[in-house]
Amino acid sequence: MNKELFKQALIKFFAGLILVGLLLFLPAWTIRYPQGWLLIIILFVPMFIAGMIMMKKNPELLKKRLQAKEEESEQRTVILLSGIMFLAAFIAAGLSFRFHFLMMPWAVSMIGAILFLAAYALYAEVLRENTYLSRTIEVQEDQKVIDTELYGVVRHPMYMATVLLFLSMPLVLGSVITFVIMLAYIPIIVKRIRNEEEVLTERLPGYADYKEKVKYRLIPFIW
């Protein structure tokens, strides 16, 4: 086992766990926020399990997923906007619970949890299909175009999964305001995809042909 990679993964995992907890429970001014705990469980338990599996079976993929230094200036803007969106969304959820403002029924949180876990499963399948995935826009050595399975349906199945993940989060948290805020992810991910496709078309052999073969970027028959 790569001890340094394991240490890095644990630090990022617990830092994320603590940050999300603070952003939810401090504005709520209580730890008795059941929707907040529900999100933390379904977000971080599968994340921990997936991380341990990658650590054992594909440490290189885990290393790529931990890499967050973006070289493309446009993508740094996307990351900044996404960070602001998440801060606002989680804080709004805590405040909504604290002041009982525009909260959804518990049944909606359960439906949201099911959708969230389904999106997680989709995300895991994408990671299985494409070992070149990283968190940054780059073309790796010996990288090839993946055009089978989910990649034969849409060109960016990972982003399709993240859209479902992020839009199900506010349902889990039960906050209408958070849902409205998270809708900002749609134009953010569109911006990221357009820039990513420019880079891949220029630098990855065969990607231009792949775009002709698979017409839809994110949602089948829509876009």
Whether residue 75 has pLDDT greater than 80: no
User: Which residues are 103's β-sheet partners?
Assistant: 175
Strand ranges for the chain from DSSP E = none
Give the start-to-end residue ranges of the domains of the chain.
Answer: 3-213
Whole-number Å distance between alpha carbons of 110 and 174: 10
**Greatest mean pLDDT range, 87-96, 188-197, 203-212:** 87-96
pLDDT tens, position by position, 107-145? 999 999 999 999 999 988 887 777 666 555 555 556 777
CA angle 203, 219, 142 (to 5 degrees): 25
Please give the pLDDT value at position 127. Answer: 78
Whether residue 73 has pLDDT greater than 70: no
Q: Which residue has the higher pLDDT, 112 or 206?
A: 112
Whether residue 71 has pLDDT greater than 90: no
Mean pLDDT of 145-174: 90
Q: pLDDT band for position 95 (50/70/90)?
A: very high
Mean of pLDDT over the chain = 86
Mean pLDDT of 38-56: 88
Record: fold of 3-213: Four Helix Bundle (Hemerythrin (Met), subunit A) (1.20.120)
